[in-house]
Structure 1
Amino acid sequence: MNTKTFPIFMSLILIDLKLRLFGFHKIFPPFIKKYKLYEDDQPITEELAEKLNDLLNSIDLACSSYPFDAKCLHRSFLGYQFIRKKYQVPIELVIGVKKFPFTSHAWLTYKGMNVNEDPKYTNEFSVILTSEKHAN
């Protein structure tokens, strides 16, 4: 683990513990409010896009190194937290479900476009919750 992934890994531990102890419904609202942005929209330059890509890769590395299941919800919480906190980019956390076979999935979007997932996959899900709608 390097210095880039260590803070991510520590946040992953906290998110996982909170999810296990309190459940999604208790931690989602305060989490969204905690990372609310009050500044104008920051444009994504090529340089910023590279930094975001590096961050998302570090998140994937931390989640794959975690000894317990760290799935899409964990990755999305981490991405939401670090992208909003460090770069002030109004990323959105999206949760969707698929009826058959029943499954759920979480991913990130920016201005309606997927950030960390292939739209071919996420288009199979019906969106049931977004951080944007929940924050308002």
Structure 2
Amino acid sequence: MFKKVKLFLYSYTSLVLLDLKLLSKGFTKTFENYSTKYSKNFSHKHVSEEVVEDIENFFLLLNIACAWYPKKADCIEKTLIGYKVMRKKFALPVEMVIGVRKFPFEAHAWLKIDQQNLFQEEETSQYKVIISSNSYSKEQR
């Protein structure tokens, strides 16, 4: 129970700090900063069931933190925080992707690993990718 409370508080604090970063530096600089700061070479290691469970718990508590956050915290916040945690804590080679569609106009952000969506909550093939963390990261240069 204590672990979940700690993880919730971490998620909520991450939202507040990200919000401040977005306000002070703007989206482009924040996205670029996350893309370069957390990029490093990763070996494709086998992910144990325990790690998968930890990742699922993290995103569940991040969703709860976003619901309790007084400002609207949506896919971009979840993607940026998820990217940071997936790379820093779990050392997995995830990619942040942002796409748009023309009609009806809509933008969406999501995480990919090995060219597949990390979570299949939404169909992302309808979006044209306009920016990716791999375009900034050192591992793709």
When normalised by structure 1's length, the TM-score is 0.90
Match of 2:98 among 83, 86, 95: 95
Report Cα offsets for 1:2-52 as digits up to 9, x if no partner.
Answer: 211111111111111111232111111111111112342232232221111
Say whether residues 1:83 and 2:79 are aligned partners.
no
The 5 Å alignment of 1:37-48 reads 37-48=40-51
CA shift, 1:134, in A, is 2.4
Unpaired segments of 5 or more residues in structure 2? none
Contact in 2 for aligned 1:18/1:27 (Cα 8 Å): yes
CA shift, 1:133, in A, is 2.3
Instruction: Tell me what 1:69 maps to.
Output: 72
Instruction: Tell me what 1:123 maps to.
Output: 125
Task: Return the letter of the residue paired with 2:57.
Answer: D
Distance 1:74 1:64 in 2: 12
Unpaired segments of 5 or more residues in structure 1? none
Give the % identical residues: 34
Aligned residues: 135
The 5 Å alignment of 1:47-58 reads 47-58=50-61
Deviates more, 1:110-119 or 1:47-56: 110-119
Instruction: Tell me what 1:133 maps to.
Output: 135
Task: Return the letter of the residue paired with 1:92.
Answer: E
Root-mean-square deviation (Å) = 1.6
When normalised by structure 2's length, the TM-score is 0.87
Report Cα offsets for 1:98-117 as digits up to 9, x if no partner.
Answer: 10111110001110111134
Partner secondary structure for residue 129 of structure 2: strand
List structure 1 segments (4+ residues) > 6 angstroms apart after TM superposition: none
Partner secondary structure for residue 2 of structure 1: helix
The 5 Å alignment of 1:16-55 reads 16-55=19-58
